[in-house]
């Protein structure tokens, strides 16, 4: 089981307290010898305090993917963001090469045409960059128009500080996912011409509670 926690001692202490309550109710205890904490972008002093609050060990991540070596629990969040982008671009590159390969196979259409719907002459294949923008728009809609759900309420209370998602400015402390949402927000506002128009547009994409 993986539990993701904010990088501060109170959040870790809350999780540890919940695990202790779970153990008290059901008799299932976390095996300290097999439980580790993995850190990204955490100050060493804070990291040591979090370890002391839980009694867990500092886990080590060691793997290599797409030429990016990651070894050490103290790998920065920026490196993970870079890795995610490399993975997305590589998947789309492999996908595109397979369908547009001009060697011994039949030459297919251009990638942008392949991603069109069937009725538009394409293969109805999702372009990952466009699909990711669409998913970011869904999160933007949730943050702008709803208050339901732990993800939404946590972001609105702790990261947005109850500011409107349409006006909040990106900060270094924001997660890569929230930064991505704000980037798509700016693209949408530029496309629609104003925040009001963008809000109306994204609201029109929701029907009966489904985006």
Mean pLDDT value across the chain: 79
Overall average pLDDT of the 178-182 stretch:
90
For the chain, percent of residues with pLDDT exceeding 70? 81
Burial of 41 (0-12, 13-18, 19+ CB in 10 A): middle
Give the pairing type, strands 57-58 and 62-65: unpaired
Q: Is the pLDDT of residue 77 over 50?
A: no
Burial of 143 (0-12, 13-18, 19+ CB in 10 A): buried
What is the Cα–Cα distance from 73 to 108, expressed in whole angstroms?
44
- CA terminus-to-terminus distance, the chain: 30
Which pTM value belongs to this model? Answer: 0.51
For residue range 150-171, list pLDDT tens digits in order. 888 888 888 888 889 999 998 8
Overall average pLDDT of the 76-101 stretch:
65
β-bridge mates for residue 70, sequence order: 63
Residues with Cβ within 8 Å of 124's Cβ and at least 6 positions away in sequence, in order, are 116, 117, 118
Q: CA nearest 133: which of 40, 202, 46?
A: 202
Residue given tokens 């809609």 in the structure block? 141
Compute CA distances 99 → 6, 106, 153, 175, whole Å. Answer: 42, 9, 42, 34
For residue range 16-65, list pLDDT tens digits in order. 888 889 888 888 888 888 888 888 778 888 889 988 888 888 887 654 44
The pLDDT value given to residue 186: 95
Overall average pLDDT of the 90-108 stretch:
63
Q: Is the pLDDT of residue 70 over 50?
A: no
Q: Is the pLDDT of residue 206 over 60?
A: yes
């Amino acid at each position: 089981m993986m539990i993701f926690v904010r990088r501060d001692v109170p959040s870790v202490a809350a999780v540890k307290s919940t695990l202790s309550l779970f153990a008290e109710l059901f008799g299932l205890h976390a095996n300290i010898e097999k439980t580790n904490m993995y850190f990204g972008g955490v100050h060493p002093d804070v990291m040591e305090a979090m370890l002391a609050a839980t009694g867990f060990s500092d886990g080590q991540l060691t793997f290599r993917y797409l030429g990016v070596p990651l070894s050490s629990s103290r790998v920065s969040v920026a490196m993970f963001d870079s890795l995610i982008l490399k993975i997305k671009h590589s998947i789309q590159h492999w996908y595109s090469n397979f369908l547009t390969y001009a060697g011994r196979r039949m030459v297919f259409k251009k990638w942008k045409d392949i991603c069109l719907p069937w009725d538009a002459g394409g293969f109805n294949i999702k372009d990952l960059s466009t699909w990711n923008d669409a998913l970011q728009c869904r999160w933007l809609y949730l943050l702008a128009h709803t208050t339901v759900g732990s993800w939404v309420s946590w972001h609105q209370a702790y990261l947005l500080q109850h500011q409107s998602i349409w006006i909040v400015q990106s900060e270094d402390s924001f997660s890569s996912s929230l930064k991505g949402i704000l980037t798509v927000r700016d693209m949408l506002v530029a496309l629609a011409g104003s925040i009001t128009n963008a809000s109306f547009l994204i609201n029109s994409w929701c029907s009966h509670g489904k985006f």
